[in-house]
Amino acid sequence: MPPRRLPWLLLIILGFAHLAFGPPVLTDSDIPRQPLTLPQLRGWQELPVPQISAAAAILVDSNTGEILYALNEHDRRAPASLVKLMTAMVALQNGRLDQKLRVRDADLMVYSVAGLKANEQLTLRDMLFILLIPSDNAASMTIARELGGNITTFVQWMNDMADGWGLQNTHFANPHGLDNKNQYMSAFDAAIIAHHAMRDPVIADIVRRPSAVLEGHWLENTNELLMTYTGTIGVKTGTEDDAGECLITMVDRPAGKVLSVVMGSTQRYIDTRLLLDYYYANFAELRVNLPPTALNEYVDADGNRHAFGLREPVTVLIHPSQVGTATYYRRIDNPTANPSADEPVGALEVMLQGRYLMEVPLYAR
């Protein structure tokens, strides 16, 4: 299935990119890295589109917004505990992290895997740890009841948030994800929810942890990929009779950041590994930017120097064998003495392995 563009996701992720070690960028000298040797090129094995057990799935490059694999991505399916990501976001919107929440007997009717007790008091921050790491159902009930006044109001807030994001194939009936005929989510919508969730530093910090210790509670993450797949930084598991096995995973490596969703799977970890391996075998991110150096200036007719650059960094997907082969040419078409902030002064031409890839407008800084 050929990659497709996803404009809404691109807008979300361009404001979120923060790789600790990114793909190639322009240096002062613009000298490309050493080309790969023939044995290295032979080592790059293109993987075919994987065959997975999941009933629905999606694979998205987080920095470009490109959908690289999709299977029944708009089908409405039982989401199980993927629901808890929305529970956490609504909680953060309506509560304070230091706010004390009290567990009630009614909250425990859906079972507490973390061993919450009636009348126990914890801060919202601690309750979010219990909600997201071991996926505790009672924590979701406590959060919803304490912040919303009642479960119905809180669930309505969840649906309001989903409606505000334009999620047409998502509806919530409870804050924990236990099967309910009126509760559903698509893999496409789950990807959007996960990207919103990972933009929140509190949630992103919690879901990346394999385990945590709170007073009186040992928490072990239900997502085993955090310990077994390099670069995994979240995000959430879910398992129920109607839902089957569900898993949203985000992986961040120097080659690229990717998000996968599988729903209705019988082997979610194998399915997810196949999708992630497919991504890293066939794609790598090339991030193009211009640093503010003397190389990135032009001289107008009066001899005055003007700095120029890209309006914002550009990320494109290339084959891993092309990493390090990018070369760049600055073309100044309009060396005006009074450059407009909205009118390009030229373009940056990007070549891969000596072949034209694209050009990006250059603007005066």
pLDDT digits (tens, 9 = 90+) for 19-47: 332 333 333 333 334 444 444 444 445 77
Q: Which of 30-34, 76-80, 123-127, 360-364 has the lowest mean pLDDT?
A: 30-34
In 243-345, the DSSP E strands lie at: 244-253, 256-265, 284-288, 297-299, 305-309, 314-318, 326-332
- Whether residue 346 has pLDDT greater than 90: yes
Q: Where residue 215 falls among pLDDT bands split at 50, 70, 90?
A: confident
Give me the residues paired with residue 250 across strands.
234, 259
Q: What is the pLDDT of residue 4?
A: 52
What does the alpha-carbon distance between residue 185 and residue 84 come to, in Å, rounded to a whole number?
A: 12
pLDDT tens string 106-138 = 999 999 999 999 999 999 999 999 999 999 999
Residue given tokens 């808890």 in the structure block: 84
User: What per-residue confidence (pLDDT) applies to 2?
Assistant: 45
What is the rounded average pLDDT for all residues in the chain? 89
Longest pairwise C-alpha distance within the chain:
79
pLDDT average, residue stretch 318-331:
94
pLDDT for res 41: 44
Per-residue confidence (pLDDT) for residue 39, from 0 to 100: 43
Q: How confident is the model at residue 68, as a pLDDT?
A: 97
Query: To the nearest whole percent, how much of the chain has pLDDT over 70?
Result: 87
Catalytic site includes residue 257: no
Per DSSP, the residues of 190-233 read HHHHHHHHHHSHHHHHHHT-SEEEETTEEEE-S-THHHHSTTEE
Q: What is residue 341's predicted lDDT score, i.e. its pLDDT?
A: 87
Helix, strand or coil for residue 262? strand
Best CATH choice for the domain 22-44+286-364 from the list 3.40.50.2000, 3.40.50.300, 2.60.410.10, 3.40.50.10540: 2.60.410.10
* C-alpha span between 65 and 230 (Å, rounded): 22
Tell me if domain 22-44+286-364 and domain 56-282 are identical in fold: no
Active site residue 29: no
CA atoms within 13 A on the CB side of 296: 21
The contacts of residue 338 (CB under 8 Å, 6+ apart) are none
Instruction: Tell me the domain boundaries of the chain.
Output: 22-44+286-364, 56-282
User: Tell me: the pLDDT tens digits for 153-199?
Assistant: 999 999 999 999 999 999 999 999 999 999 999 999 999 999 999 99
What was the pLDDT predicted at 38? 43
10-13 long-range contacts, CB within 8 A, separation 24+? 10/64, 10/65, 11/65, 12/65, 12/192, 12/195, 12/196, 12/199, 13/62, 13/63, 13/64, 13/65, 13/195
Q: What is the pLDDT of residues 238-270, one digit of tens each?
A: 999 999 999 999 999 999 999 999 999 999 999
Active site residue 140: no
3-state secondary structure labels for all residues of 15-33: CCCCCCCCCCCCCCCCCCC
CA 272, CA 260: separation in Å to the nearest integer? Answer: 7
Integer angstrom CA distances of residue 355 from 28, 275, 286, 328: 22, 29, 15, 11
Q: Per the residue annotation, which of 84, 112, 260, 265 is the catalytic one?
A: 84
What confidence score (pLDDT) does residue 45 get? Answer: 57
Q: Where residue 354 falls among pLDDT bands split at 50, 70, 90?
A: very high
Q: Say whether pTM exceeds 0.75.
A: yes
Residues 6+ apart with CB under 8 A from 128: 88, 91, 92, 139, 143, 202, 203, 206
Exactly one of 62, 112, 135, 265 is catalytic; name it. Answer: 135
| pLDDT tier for residue 290 given thresholds of 50, 70 and 90 | very high
* Domain 56-282 = CATH 3.40.710.10: yes
Residue type, 272: T
Which residue in 81, 140, 186, 265 is the catalytic one? Answer: 81
How far are the Cα atoms of 47, 107, 217, 218 from residue 138, in angstroms, in the given order? 42, 5, 14, 16
Hey, is 118 helix, strand or coil? coil
For residue 205, the one-letter residue type is: D
Residue in the block written with tokens 């505790």: 136
